[in-house]
Amino acid sequence: MLDENKTLPNPENPETFTGLRLAEPADTAGGAKAVISSLKHVFGAMDAVRGLKALGRLNQFDGHDCPGCAWPDPDGHRSGIAEYCENGAKAIAEEATTKKVDAAFFARHSVAEIASWTDYEIGKSGRLCEPMYLAPGATHYAPISWEQAFEKIAGALKSLPDPNRAIFYTSGRTSNEAAFLYQLLIRRYGTNNLPDCSNMCHESSGVALNESLGIGKGSVTLEDFYETDLILILGQNPGTNHPRMLAALQKAKANGAKIISINPLKEAGLLNFSHPQQFSGMLGASTHLTDLYLQVKINGDLALLKAIALLLLEAEDKNPGSVFDQAFISEKTQGAEAYLDDLRRYNLQTLAAECGISEAQIREAAQLLIERKRVIACWAMGLTQHKNAVDTIREIVNLLLLKGSVGKPGAGTCPVRGHSNVQGDRTMGIYEKPPKAFLDNLERAFGFNPPREDGYDVVDAIKAMYEGKADVFIAMGGNFLSATPDTLYTAQALRNCSLTVQVSTKLNRSHVICGREALILPCLGRTDLDLLDGHRQFVSVENSMGVVHSSKGSLWPVSDQLLSEPVIVCRLAKALFGQDPLIDWDKYMTHYDRIREDIERSIPGFEDYNRRVRLQGGFYLPNGARIGQFKTGAGKAMFNVAAPLHTPLADDEWIMMTIRTHDQFNTTIYGLHDRYRGIYNERRVVLLNKADIEKAGFKPGDVVDLYNYHGGTERVARRFIIVEYDIPRQCAATYFPETNVLVPINSVAEKSNTPTSKMVIIKIVMSDEG
């Protein structure tokens, strides 16, 4: 049995609760409460001068990009009031805090003590200030010089019998410049072991879109939202995870668009929006967003999409050419006949039962599609973290192809990325399965033959460490342990390493669940002033819609011992390779323009990079699907045939999805409240349907333990409070990372290998300690 409380040192302090308080879930996002929350977080972390400067430069031209989500900035202009959202302000408060984690902090607190804190307590410790080293058997981190740190890492890498015994992880906040250098170092070293956070979130989107449309990115721009007729939002909670999207939805509604939201939970940000930058919004006036809300069963999306498509087919059969874009289907797609033949095998009643949506609501959704020609589909991890995620996303594309809604204004695909440069990192080559063309370009540009065999993704990397097939783990940002599945399995995997290295801005749990030796390398953040030889530098990022733009920090760093990520990579490369005859690592540390010059000659789409990235708003990368050019094997957009996945549940089982609170971004916990869902002062809760609670003999407020038995292994997350909530029958929702311990390492999405954090089968029993 895997038990979090016995294997990890009390990771979420489950013996005590913080005083759960419940309120009615909100039906409106934004408004004055969002402004008050933003200011409270920022000015609670720094003085007013620093706080106002950080907020004033956030997402502005010549300012710093938000370290939160990847929602795009408006083309050509910025708000004169504030070009950020509540959670963007919280992200700035976390990064720009003046609270310090220095050598004295580590002398006071042992590794075991820090490990006993909650993720919230660890994160609130402050900014890392100097390189730290944990020696074998040591109880406390101790200071180490940068030079000694680089020599220690280089020595460990040189001692490995095979480069594939090293693993190099990347977080989505890493800049284009740092990511490019990082993958260059790793491939120069001799491996493609480049797992990244995309493996755990939108990998399924990339696989599906590449197969269907020939590009693993979305096809729409922000302007498309203002020209569309209909927006589908599936498995996404923009009010918490991408709040600036709400302004785009508000504008789309003002222009006449309809919105269908498909989600197991009713989320405030999908219902109504009070724009906090509008006087009326501050007074409480709101825009109603969703016209039709379909509260689908967890992983019922594919059945629902197929049911809608079936009704569209029936309407098209009655009046050919009135529903489908037959010219587009004929000229631009392949596989439509096989798809439609398969679709005719289904009946509405069966599909409705599978997805949990009434036939009347499905007909209403279909009618909205029948009557409209320009459709945008948005989705996030509510779709990508299922076993059949790739097929579900391809079914979205099927629907869009039937309507001819790809490659024209006001229509297309919109996978909404969750981290500010996760898409850019992939463009830069952070990928364990690099295309041949990418490797060929590197070889031509730098004169060495990069490794050609695929490397480890996140799941395979964890397994390799667990099984003793990898010895060194290096993370460029992120909180690997708290982000990954099967927490106890992953913890043991990290502990099996001889050396773990974390390049970080703030303290996190991955610093204290580590290898036999461990290093913490503190780096500059997005908001920090970055100077090389007295010259101010900027980096660049790519947002969800393929726009590359600059990010320039302006705040004085909290410590003079912080290095930028590009400099850290270059200094490690010099320690590892010595005088490299093929790559001049020193030149990259003179000015980041030198890095961008080599990106330009290595990666298509970055022509004239240094000039174009200095333009206001940056530039768009090429996107074939956006203009109706599909770079698939057939040269056409591809329909896909797939059946819904039926997940049988026993009477005492639930299908659980992990979700974020409103006081959270990925693994960063800003606070203990989930304001929009009406849950305060507690994170260890499980949201259940009222009828399910009664049937199981529980009552709201009961303290229970959650169990998963996938693969014959018992996993348990202890002491969760039952909260009655509006959620479909036999569905449950819990917050991550607290329940990542229940997500099996071997339960992954087909083709993408993404952990299935949204479809975990659990049993619930009363806690012995309740």
- The 10s digit of each residue's pLDDT in 200-234 is 999 999 999 999 999 999 999 999 999 999 999 99
Contacts of 758 (CB under 8 A, 6+ apart): 235, 298, 299, 381, 382, 385, 386, 657, 658
The dihedral through the CA atoms of 92, 97, 102, 106 has a sign that is: negative
SS3 417: coil
Strands 731-735 and 685-688, how do they pair?
antiparallel
651: pLDDT strictly greater than 90:
yes
Residue 18: the pLDDT is 59
154: pLDDT strictly greater than 80:
yes
633-650 average pLDDT score: 96
Q: Which of 628, 551, 554, 689 minimizes the C-alpha distance to 68?
A: 551
Reported as a single tens digit per residue, the pLDDT across 672-716 is 999 999 999 999 999 999 999 999 999 999 999 999 999 999 999
13: pLDDT strictly greater than 70:
no
Burial of 611 (0-12, 13-18, 19+ CB in 10 A): exposed
* SS3 readout for 322-358: CCCCHHHHHHHEECHHHHHHHHCCCCHHHHHHHHCCC
Q: To the nearest whole number, what is the mean pLDDT of the chain?
A: 94
660: pLDDT strictly greater than 60:
yes
Contacts of 561 (CB under 8 A, 6+ apart): 129, 130, 131, 146, 522
Reading the block at residue 384, the tokens are 């990508």
172: pLDDT strictly greater than 90:
no
Give the count of beta carbons closer than 10 Å to the beta carbon of residue 62.
12
Given a contact cutoff of 8 angstroms between Cβ atoms, the answer to whether 413 and 209 are in contact is: yes
Q: Which of 264, 266, 92, 7 minimizes the C-alpha distance to 668?
A: 92
Contacts of 548 (CB under 8 A, 6+ apart): 176, 424, 540, 541, 542, 606, 612, 613, 618, 619, 620, 621
Residue 302: the pLDDT is 98
Q: How confident is the model at residue 12 (pLDDT cuts 50, 70, 90)?
A: very low
Q: Which of 528, 723, 636 minimizes the C-alpha distance to 213?
A: 636
Could you tell me what percent of the chain has a pLDDT over 70?
A: 97
Given a contact cutoff of 8 angstroms between Cβ atoms, the answer to whether 393 and 356 are in contact is: no
Reading the block at residue 365, the tokens are 């959704």
Residue 135: the pLDDT is 98
* Bond before 737 cis per omega within 30 degrees: yes
Reading the block at residue 564, the tokens are 């930028």
Strands 287-288 and 132-134, how do they pair?
unpaired
Phi/psi-derived region of residue 429, left when phi > 0, alpha when psi is between -120 and 50, beta in every other case:
left
SS3 470: coil
CB hemisphere CA count around 139 (13 angstroms): 6
What single letter denotes the amino acid at residue 604? P
323-335 average pLDDT score: 98
Distance CA 58, CA 51 (A): 11
Given a contact cutoff of 8 angstroms between Cβ atoms, the answer to whether 144 and 133 are in contact is: yes
Q: Bridge-partner residues for 473, per DSSP?
A: 167, 500
Ranges 170-174, 276-280, 375-379, most confident: 375-379
Given a contact cutoff of 8 angstroms between Cβ atoms, the answer to whether 524 and 564 are in contact is: yes
Looking at per-residue pLDDT, the higher value among 4 and 627 belongs to: 627
Distance CA 756, CA 746 (A): 9
Distance CA 290, CA 225 (A): 15
Given a contact cutoff of 8 angstroms between Cβ atoms, the answer to whether 290 and 259 are in contact is: yes
Distance CA 657, CA 733 (A): 5
9: pLDDT strictly greater than 70:
no
Given a contact cutoff of 8 angstroms between Cβ atoms, the answer to whether 330 and 639 are in contact is: no
Reading the block at residue 493, the tokens are 């995997």
- Weakest mean pLDDT among 245-249, 362-366, 704-708: 245-249
Could you tell me what percent of the chain has a pLDDT over 90?
A: 86
What single letter denotes the amino acid at residue 307? A
- Weakest mean pLDDT among 87-91, 394-398, 427-431: 87-91
Eight-state DSSP code of residue 167? E
The dihedral through the CA atoms of 621, 80, 287, 263 has a sign that is: positive
- Weakest mean pLDDT among 113-122, 413-422, 572-581, 691-700: 413-422
Distance CA 219, CA 626 (A): 5
Reading the block at residue 558, the tokens are 């909290």
Reading the block at residue 714, the tokens are 């018992």
Given a contact cutoff of 8 angstroms between Cβ atoms, the answer to whether 64 and 551 are in contact is: yes
* SS3 readout for 629-681: CCCCCCCCEECCCCCCCCCCCCCCEEEEEEECCCCEECCEECCCCEHHHCEEC
- Show the CA angle centred on residue 235, arms to residues 755 and 738, nearest 5°: 50
**Predicted TM-score (pTM) of this structure:** 0.96
DSSP H or E run through 573: helix 565-577
762: pLDDT strictly greater than 90:
yes
Residue with tokens 């099927």: 398
User: DSSP states of 551-615 as a string?
Assistant: E---BPPS-TT-B-HHHHHHHHHHHHHSS-SS--HHHHTT-HHHHHHHHHTTSTT-TTHHHHTTS
Reported as a single tens digit per residue, the pLDDT across 380-416 is 999 999 999 999 999 999 999 999 999 999 999 999 9
Looking at per-residue pLDDT, the higher value among 385 and 419 belongs to: 385
Say how many residues make up the chain. Answer: 770
Give the count of beta carbons closer than 10 Å to the beta carbon of residue 163.
18
Residue 5: the pLDDT is 44
Q: How confident is the model at residue 69 (pLDDT cuts 50, 70, 90)?
A: confident
Contacts of 579 (CB under 8 A, 6+ apart): none
Residue 38: the pLDDT is 86
Residue 17: the pLDDT is 58
Q: Which of 671, 689, 688 minimizes the C-alpha distance to 680?
A: 671
Q: Which of 485, 439, 443 minimizes the C-alpha distance to 744?
A: 485
Residue 769: the pLDDT is 66
Q: How confident is the model at residue 278 (pLDDT cuts 50, 70, 90)?
A: confident
Q: Give the burial string for 185-214 (b: 16+ CB within 10 Å, else e).
A: bbbbbbbbbbbbbbbbbbbbbbbbbebbbb
CA 651 to chain centroid: 33
Contacts of 87 (CB under 8 A, 6+ apart): 68, 69, 240, 241, 243, 662, 665, 670
